[in-house]
Amino acid sequence: MSFLEATRYNVDRAAKALDLSPWQVLELNTPRRELKVELNLRRADGTYSTFVGFRVQHDNARGPMKGGLRYDPRVDPDEVNALASLMTWKTAVMGIPYGGAKGGINCDPRLLSRDELQRLTRDFTDELADFIGPKTDIPAPDMGTNAETMGWIVDQYSKYHGWSPGVITGKPISLGGSHGRTAATGRGCLFALLNVLSDRGDSIEGKSIAIQGFGNVGSWAARLMSEAGGKVVAVSDVTGGLRNPEGLDVNALCDYVDKTRGVQGFKGGEDFSGDELLTSECEILVPAAMESVITKDNAEGISATIIIEGANGPTTPEADEILRKKGVTIVPDCYANGGGVTVSYFEWVQNLQQFSWTEERVNLELRSVMDRAWADLKAQAGESEDLRLAAFKLALGRVLEATNLRR
């Protein structure tokens, strides 16, 4: 089952539970607009390369469309469609006034110089300039992009429309970015975990945690969960895995990764194959890398009793069923990693107001949104432990309500 098929499978499950008509399901699954652009780049050595860029705008019933831009060789129409759809459901679950979109360029940013990346980004912005905007579609960073990339985009877009910081989020602070945005997705994962544990009358203190992916989301989740009292016993990234049953020194590891660009070789733990991370001995598992990594082939071997989905779509439907039967609590991505889009929303609000919030206020507001969304999710779930089904039912209901009210 492809990533797009898996996403639509979850929509179909929720639609069936809500007794929606085939027409309503078709409407929910069909994006409003799909853009595909060709980008020709003159390389530093004088040769030319052609890259393909995408932007899928899925739904705007609840507000402007919102979603990241990723630069990765795996970017294709199906992936972008699935991710755009997930953004629609995520913003609805979080209760923020956005729809969903997603985009990116099929490229490997590690093989491009900074100058080449900037020119490619500005060309991409030229192609999107008539289709994005503060009240239309607001991109953000994702895999392979960062605050600097967003700075190039806001500058290029503003050449056509005047200074418009609200066109994009995840920008540098000096260009209208928000305090707390860099850590927001990882912090949201922490708040999601704390809410699960609190409902059980439990705490994070001493809980063993394994984190797959040590980029922005995974590294901040590790840092914040460790500071809150958790014990990060294993992490992995593209270089491999690192484990220490007694707990890793996360701050020292983050400093090491900043210098070496990989977790392997850190002296505070034992290197191991990153493929083993998901089945590592732990109480809490945080997949924070790519989609479709937890499958029917490895689900039985997962020892964690709680999974916090830091990545988008990390669990396939087949694995989902296996894990639920094992009694594993899966906190779905459209809630668990909602901290990023929530603080992006705060950044957009600050840009529209031309007023900057303190980091303390951002974090307090994020906790408030995460707590409210958790209460809504639990109320939708009732006695069921199927939080993914509850999240999709909640999201579909909210999108349909807005759609019908606008007709």
Residue 385 pLDDT grade (very low, low, confident, very high; cuts 50, 70, 90): confident
pLDDT band at 63 (very low <50, low <70, confident <90, very high): very high
As a whole number of Å, the end-to-end CA separation of the chain is: 35
Model confidence band, residue 181 (pLDDT cutoffs 50, 70, 90) = very high
If you average pLDDT over residues 338-348, what whole number do you get? 97
Nearest to 73 by CA among 107, 123, 118, 39: 107
The reply to whether 102 belongs to the active site is: yes
Among 9-13, 270-274, 312-316, 344-348, name the one with the lowest average pLDDT.
Answer: 270-274
Helix or strand run (H / E) with residue 317: helix 317-325
Per-residue pLDDT tens over the stretch 30-43: 999 999 999 999 99
Q: Average pLDDT in the 202-209 region?
A: 97
Cα–Cα distance for residue pair 375/353, rounded to 1 Å:
29
The Cα–Cα gap between 275 and 278 comes to: 7
Question: pLDDT class for 343, splitting at 50, 70, 90?
Answer: very high
What is residue 1's predicted lDDT score, i.e. its pLDDT?
79
The per-residue pLDDT for 47 is 95
How buried is residue 28: exposed, middle or buried, by Cβ count under 10 Å (0-12/13-18/19+)? buried
pLDDT score for 2: 87
Measure the CA–CA gap between 203 and 198, rounded to whole angstroms. 6
Active-site entry in 102, 171, 231, 393: 102
pLDDT band, residue 180 (cuts 50/70/90): very high
d(CA 91, CA 77): 21
pLDDT of residue 39: 97
pLDDT digits (tens, 9 = 90+) for 84-128: 999 999 999 999 999 999 999 999 999 999 999 999 999 999 999
Nearest 10 degrees: Cα torsion 389, 198, 357, 136: 0
User: What residue has token string 């019908």?
Assistant: 404
pLDDT range class, residue 3, cuts 50, 70, 90 = confident
Question: 361 falls in which pLDDT band (50, 70, 90)?
Answer: very high
How do residues 153-173 score in pLDDT, each as one tens digit?
999 999 999 999 999 999 999
Residues 6+ apart with CB under 8 A from 227: none
